[in-house]
Amino acid sequence: MTKAAELRELADTDLETKLIEARRELFNLRFQLATGRLDNIARIPEVRREIARLLTLQGERARSEEN
């Protein structure tokens, strides 16, 4: 899990890449859960929070560009 302070230092393209990777990981975790192969169920909420952090930072940057 990456902290918001570390994420703020990344460039926009890096944030987008991390978001794509996190969404792909969440998809894979959900697929593993559905097939009964997921060992660490607690990872799903962690990835969801990371996605939320990334989306929040993207929104903050978009709003700061508008102003």
Please name the residue ranges forming H helices in the chain: 4-8, 12-35, 43-66
| The pLDDT of residue 20 | 98
Domain that holds residue 45: 4-66
Each residue of 9-65: pLDDT tens digit? Answer: 999 999 999 999 999 999 999 999 999 999 999 999 999 999 999 999 999 999 999
pTM, rounded to two decimals: 0.91
Cα distance between residue 17 and residue 13, in whole Å: 6
Distance CA 47, CA 67 (A): 31
Q: Tally the domains of the chain.
A: 1
State the CATH number of the domain containing residue 56. 1.10.287.310
What distance in Å separates the CA atoms of residue 63 and residue 58, rounded to the nearest whole number? 9
